[in-house]
């Protein structure tokens, strides 16, 4: 049975990979290792769990350099990339499976990746700022806002360590949220 960390290893080996490709790779590795096949639903669950832990992130073909026209059979297809919190492990016989399936590493466009995740982080900051502005000074609501701020701060630091200096312009916005939250608590 493949693990979440091995899913991250598959993603890391290819740079960007679709869910369908992950399933093919997992099944090929299991065949090579004479293991039983992991059901597709279980692989989907592992990928979703890896994404929720920021071991994997989602992009589109637009963030991949030199993508070939045959990769665009489905322009809406999503690709997994290695996330900020990933510590990948490489499944046994991964390179053999990749050779058999004729899959090669895809190079990512760093600037487009930064733009995508900076935009996503800005939206989360704005959303939490609006929640703080609309919130009442109520113990339960303040605890929830504190938790959301903590999650956002952790995400900011994860992204900043993932791609150093790429998100530094958002640091002030994140810290201003802490000030707004403290002001709300004192009000």
Does 93 lie in the same domain as 10? Answer: yes
Does 118 lie in the same domain as 86? Answer: no
Does 114 lie in the same domain as 31? Answer: no
Note the pLDDT of residue 107: 94
For 104-148, the pLDDT digits (tens) are: 999 999 999 999 999 999 999 999 999 988 887 777 888 899 999
Rounded Cα distance between 186 and 171, Å, is: 23
Q: How many structural domains are present in the chain? A: 2
Rounded Cα distance between 56 and 79, Å, is: 10
pTM surpassing 0.95?
Answer: no
Region 71-93 average pLDDT: 88
DSSP letter string over the chain? ---HHHHHHHHHHHSSB-HHHHHHHHHHHHHHTTPPPPPHHHHHHHHHHHHHTTSEEEE-GGGBTT--GGGGGSTT--EEEE-TT----PPTTHHHHHHHHT--PPPB-HHHHHHHHHHHHHHHHHHHHHHHHH--S-HHHHHHHHHHHHHHHHHHHHHHHHSTTTTGGGHHHHHHHHHHHHHHHH-
Note the pLDDT of residue 26: 97
* CATH for 57: 1.10.10
Instruction: Please identify, among 101, 126, 157, the residue that sits at the C-terminal boundary of a domain.
Output: 101
6 confidence band (pLDDT: 50, 70, 90):
very high
Does 87 lie in the same domain as 154? Answer: no
Does 152 lie in the same domain as 86? Answer: no
Instruction: Please identify, among 101, 121, 152, the residue that sits at the C-terminal boundary of a domain.
Output: 101
Instruction: Please identify, among 57, 80, 101, the residue that sits at the C-terminal boundary of a domain.
Output: 101
Query: Strand locations in 86-179, DSSP E?
Result: none
Does 52 lie in the same domain as 25? Answer: yes
Does 97 lie in the same domain as 8? Answer: yes
67 confidence band (pLDDT: 50, 70, 90):
confident
pLDDT for residue 28 is more than 80: yes
54: alpha, beta or left? (left if phi > 0; alpha if psi -120 to 50): left
Helix (H, G, I), strand (E, B) or coil at 80: strand
pLDDT for residue 101 is more than 90: yes
Does 89 lie in the same domain as 54? Answer: yes
Terminal C-alpha separation, the chain? 53
Range of the domain at 120: 110-186
DSSP letter string over 96-109? HHHHHHT--PPPB-
Q: Tell me what percent of the residues of the chain surpass a pLDDT of 70.
A: 97
Contact 94, 10 (CB under 8 A): yes
Does 93 lie in the same domain as 8? Answer: yes
Does 90 lie in the same domain as 8? Answer: yes
């Amino acid at each position: 049975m493949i693990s979440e960390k091995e899913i991250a290893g598959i993603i890391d080996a290819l740079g960007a990979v679709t869910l369908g490709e992950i399933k093919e790779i997992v099944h090929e590795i299991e065949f090579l290792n004479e293991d039983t096949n992991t059901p597709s639903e279980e692989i989907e669950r592992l990928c979703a769990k890896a994404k929720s832990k920021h071991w994997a992130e989602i992009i589109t073909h637009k963030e991949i350099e030199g993508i070939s026209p045959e990769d665009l059979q489905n322009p809406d297809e999503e690709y997994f990339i290695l996330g900020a919190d990933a510590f990948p492990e490489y499944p046994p016989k991964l390179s053999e499976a990749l050779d058999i399936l004729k899959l090669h590493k895809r190079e990512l466009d760093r600037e487009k990746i930064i733009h995508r995740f900076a935009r996503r982080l800005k939206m989360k900051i704005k959303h939490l700022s609006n929640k703080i502005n609309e919130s009442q000074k109520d113990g339960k609501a303040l605890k929830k806002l504190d938790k959301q701020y903590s999650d956002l701060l952790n995400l900011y630091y994860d992204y900043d360590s993932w791609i150093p200096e790429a998100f530094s312009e958002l640091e002030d916005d994140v810290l201003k949220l802490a000030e707004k939250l403290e002001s709300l608590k004192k009000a």
